[in-house]
Chains A and B, each alone.
Chain A
Amino acid sequence: MRPLIATLLKELLLLYRDRMGLLVLFAMPAVLAVVVSLVQENVLKTTGAARMDVLFVDQDRQTLGPLIQEQLARIENLTLVTELDGRAIDVEQARRLVDKGRYEVCIVVPAGLTAAVRSRTGDQIAEAFAGEAVPGGPPPPHLSVYFDPLVQGVFRSSLMNALGRMALAMELEIKARALSEALPARVRQALGAATGRMVADPGLPTVQLDPSWGGRRLMGVVSEQSRLKRLPTSVQQNVAAMSVFGIFFIVLPLCGIFIRERQEGTLARLRTLPVGYLTILAGKMGAYLAVCWVQFGFIVLVGKLVLPLLGTPVLELGADTPALAVTVTLVALAACGYGLMLGAVAGTLEQAAMFGAVSVVCAAAVGGLMVPVYVMPPAMQTLSAFSPLAWGLTAIIEIAAREGSLASVQRELLLLAAFCAATLAVAWARFGRCDRPAST
């Protein structure tokens, strides 16, 4: 037991004196969690999930312009900007601002829209009473929407859908109103023609349309509420992802110390000691396991205390704390195993640092720590199933955000345990192997 504790304390002391290593271990994932959370807030903005300012230019200045403005103002998360510095915006200015990225979108109501719509409504009513459609004719007038070219397709389509719905409702209302006005006059005309005299007021029922008539839906589509008591937040996703990422970054200092031991000859000295290799490896793992826990706690504190100050939701970690503890421990053990294996296999510090960093970043990217797996191409989604970081992330999110338990993440935990065992076996075999000494 004494050698195990001595090794554990020695590793902690070495790490404590490696300031750059500590910076990598603690500051890097915390900074990433903050930055990615804030960046994701911006992504939500461009995908329509957060409030955004939209330039609105009314060139029509008749009835429809203000009506459209009123309808647009009802769309959730949109704030219409019609003036800048106290002056109405013109189309050129609006397009320039959008092209420069100052605003993501600009909506223009063209001049003559009201007149054109009135004319087309009259024509269509006349066609309806005539019982035949007139083919051809000029194209319909349209609202113009200018997007910042960098705005994502998801936001474009959601805004265009909203505008389309609004236009449809307005069109329906305009047509219905026009029909309700035209129908009594036509009936009077028809009665007059049939009776041979003008009928002033035959007592026909009239159609009363309130302003929201066209907007009232006959059939709706509703996104149902999740059965989870607390809905997952982006902070949970980001903190979990960056925790796993940070935990796996212990690979760098761990394999660095291992390789330095080999290069400086301390490994040879260790191998002359009356202590088994497993004790030495276990001591190293124990130290880094403790470091991973401190690191996880640090990132959680950032999620609970720092991120809310920057406007994100407070981090929630779910109710099953023991399950979360087991999961984080297994993620840490998998990372330790990988670090030890890399330290045992890599020839030089440079090799280990390069391969370690690149492999962890690749596994993180493939594992869905940076972008969700479901947006990846099929081949990458298949690869994702082999990333230990993906297993860790899935398990932590399942417990922290989806009210999961040990039973629901047992597959991921088994995979992490197997990965740890396999990498440790390689490290142990390599550690016990005898190398040719530097001098013969």
Chain B
Amino acid sequence: MPPGLTGPGPAPHTLLLEAEGLAKTYPNSRAPALAQFSLSIAPGEIVGLLGPNGAGKTTAISLMTGLLPPDAGRVRVCGVDFREHPRQVRPWIGLVPQHIALYSRLTAAENLRYFGSMYGIGGRELKERVRACLATVGLADHEGGRIDAFSGGMRRRANLAVALLHRPRLLFLDEPTVGIDPQSRNLILERLAEMSRAGAGMLYTTHYIDEAERICSRVVVIDEGSVIAHGSPRELADAHPGCGDLGGLFLRLTGKALRD
């Protein structure tokens, strides 16, 4: 059984995430990294957050996961204000950072056990969840392998497994398939789709437009900190005829100039 929506959590709520008017300007920077950013995610929904480099995707995720305080706006998870009740909200969310946020000298199972313990899970339950999560991401036979001995794809999958261990209602995935082979990528996307069907909500950032077309029910395109388009892939295609696919639409919206 894939993790998600099976553990203790908040009372059923129509929206898992409500972000309203988020804004952030970094010190020593005149341009805002994010301005008037609003987003909602319902249970079972995967929302793609697309944008070129420096568009504000990671800033948006950092604000919505409590890693950064917003200059303005607010975030509610399952109806609970994040800033006011961070301890209550944190067990409901999971983060798959862009970096492999694991202890490279620990094994996959040791990493999962550590992060699981930090959520207060222990004993036999922790052992079972670790085994299930590793199986979910295709690492059942590698639980004793150290992360620094893993391939890029295995590390990405282990990175995902850690975020699933406490069975969050809402997952934030920051480019979770960067630099891995098609097989690992396919497995990750399949698992995310299964979790979505089980009721988990997700915010998914990626540079791979085909991934967004494949698993996202809605897509938000941002550039220079502002939302420039949103809707389902179909709605966006209809609204911008002549682009061919989502990739063509993305280039039309964000331009062909290189971004640093």
Contact = CB atoms under 8 A, between A and B. Distances in A.
Contacts of B162: 269
A270 interface: yes
B150 interface: no
Contacts of B69: 434
A440 B54 contact: yes
Interface stretch (B117-125, B211-219, B243-251): B117-125
Contact of A13 (B67, B98, B110, B115): B110
B62 A269 contact: no
B68 A434 contact: yes
B93 A273 contact: no
Interface in B51-84: 53-59, 62, 65-69
Interface stretch (B37-45, B100-108, B181-189, B227-235): B100-108
Contacts of B93: 272
A269 B115 contact: yes
A186 interface: no
Range class of the B interface residue count: 35 or more
A75 interface: no
B97 interface: yes
B19 to A, nearest CB: 16
Contact of B66 (A6, A10, A271): A271
Interface stretch (A260-268, A307-315, A322-330, A385-393): A260-268
A9 B116 CA distance: 13
Given A13-B110, A271-B67, A6 B118 contact: yes
A221 interface: no
A6 to B, nearest CB: 3
B102 A264 contact: yes
Nearest to B113: A6
B26 interface: yes
Contact of B33 (A3, A13, A440): A440
A229 interface: no
Interface string A8-41: 0110011001100000000000000000000000
B87 interface: yes
B90 A3 contact: no
A439 B53 CA distance: 8
Nearest to A14: B105
Contacts of B56: 440
B197 interface: no
B119 A269 contact: no
A227 interface: no
B138 interface: no
Nearest to B69: A434
B66 A265 contact: no
Contacts of A270: 118
Given A272-B90, A274-B90, A440-B56, A10 B103 contact: yes
Nearest to B59: A440
B110 A272 contact: no
Given A434-B68, A437-B68, A268 B101 contact: yes
A436 B113 CA distance: 29
Given A14-B103, A269-B162, A439 B114 contact: no
B117 A274 contact: no
Given A3-B120, A265-B100, A272-B95, A437 B58 contact: yes
A2 interface: yes
B103 A2 contact: no
Nearest to A6: B117
A434 B67 contact: yes
Interface in A382-408: none
B127 interface: no
A18 B103 CA distance: 12
Range class of the A interface residue count: 20 to 34
A273 B105 contact: no
Nearest to A17: B105
B117 A268 contact: no
A150 interface: no
Q: Among the interface residues A6, A18, A439, which one has the most CB atoms of the partner chain B within 10 A?
A: A439
Contacts of B2: none
Contact of A273 (B57, B90, B106, B122): B90
Contact of A266 (B103, B113, B119): B103
A275 B68 CA distance: 16
A438 interface: yes
B101 A265 contact: yes
Q: Among the interface residues A5, A273, A438, A440, which one has the most CB atoms of the partner chain B within 10 A?
A: A440
B26 A3 contact: no
B91 interface: yes
Interface in A205-236: none
B90 A18 contact: no
A437 B90 contact: no
A269 B101 contact: yes
B181 to A, nearest CB: 22
A90 B149 CA distance: 71
B13 interface: no
Contacts of B97: 265, 268-269
Given A10-B106, A269-B115, A271-B66, A264 B59 contact: no
A439 B117 CA distance: 29
A240 B12 CA distance: 62
B101 A264 contact: yes
A437 B67 contact: yes
Contacts of A14: 103, 105-106
Contacts of B68: 434, 436-437
Nearest to A9: B114
B252 interface: no
Interface string A349-366: 000000000000000000
22 contacts: A2-B117, A6-B113, A7-B114, A265-B100, A265-B101, A266-B102, A266-B103, A268-B95, A269-B115, A271-B66, A273-B115, A274-B86, A434-B62, A434-B67, A437-B59, A437-B62, A437-B67, A439-B57, A439-B58, A440-B56, A440-B57, A440-B58
Nearest 6 CB-CB pairs, A to B?
Answer: A6-B117, A265-B99, A265-B101, A274-B90, A269-B101, A17-B105
Given A269-B97, A436-B68, 10 more contacts: A10-B103, A10-B110, A13-B106, A264-B99, A265-B100, A272-B66, A436-B26, A438-B99, A440-B55, A440-B57
